[in-house]
Structure formats: structure tokens, C-alpha cells
Amino acid sequence: MVIGAYLALIAAFFVVLFTGRYPPAIFQFEVGVMRWSARVNAYFYLMTDAYPPFSLNPEADYPVQFDIEYPADGVDRWRPLVHWLLAFPYLIVASVISYVAQVIVFFAFFAILFTKRYPRGMFEIVEVSLRWLFRGYAYAGFMTTRYPPWVWG
């Protein structure tokens, strides 16, 4: 599925470059793959006990939600050429936060094992790491024109 998302992103690159419009079907597929990936990551990071559904569609009853609004006004043609470069500093910081979160999840496992609770502070750091990663991915994939915020949360 992820390989298909990369191939679809390459196709979207050329379509946006020449037409200034993100193909709606590719956009929805990309959002769906990111939605599924967010669910899997949340499950892997012990943030939910609910097994992630094998679906790219929104699931109202699943505890992890993800969505990106379609750019109805179109996308500037230059964005595919430089968005990945502009996203690079943000994604580096997001990756560092993600690595810290992975270490925290290791310790959270034992906290959950002995107390049956995910310590709130640990949970919030892991939550922030996922937000940063997916905001960066959405921007790098020129799915949104707003630069991801450099805020904790």
C-alpha cells in the first residue's frame, strides 16, 4: 500500500506541476494511506488497544482520526518542486521527536504492564510525535499549503 502511495505521489507531482490541480482520487488515496498509517502507528505506540481496521476510509468509532481538507482552490504549480525541500527541516525535528517517542514507548510498556495505565506525560509526547510526523508528511506531499506549525501540540 505504501509503495502504491509513493507511485501515486509521483503521478500527482506531474499532474500538479502541469495543471495546478491535485487529482481528487489520488488525494483521497494519499489521505487514506496516511489515515491507515496513523492508526497503525497509534496501535504500535500502545496508544489504543483497538486493532486498526484494514480500511482507508474514515472510521467514526475508531479512536484515531485523521483527515486533510482537499485544496479546492488548486495547488500552486511550483509547490511540487520545492515543498519537499521546505519540509526537510521540519521533518528532521519530527524524526528526532519520533525517536524520543519510541524510547518513551519502551518505558511506557512497563508502566502499562504494572499500573495498567499509560502515563499521561508519556502519552502526550508520543501523541505530539505522531502529529509532527503526519503534518510534515502532508506538507511534503504538497497536500496542504500551510507550513506545519513549530508548536508543541
CA neighbor of 80 nearest in space, from 32, 23, 9, 136: 9
Examine residue 145 and state whether it is found in any structural domain, yes or no: no
Residue 152 in domain: no
Count of structural domains, the chain: 1
The pLDDT assigned to 26 comes to: 97
Residue 1 has pLDDT above 90, yes or no: no
Task: Count other Cβ atoms within 10 Å, centred on residue 138.
Answer: 20
pLDDT at 84: 86
Single pTM value for the model: 0.91
Domain hosting 45: range is 2-140
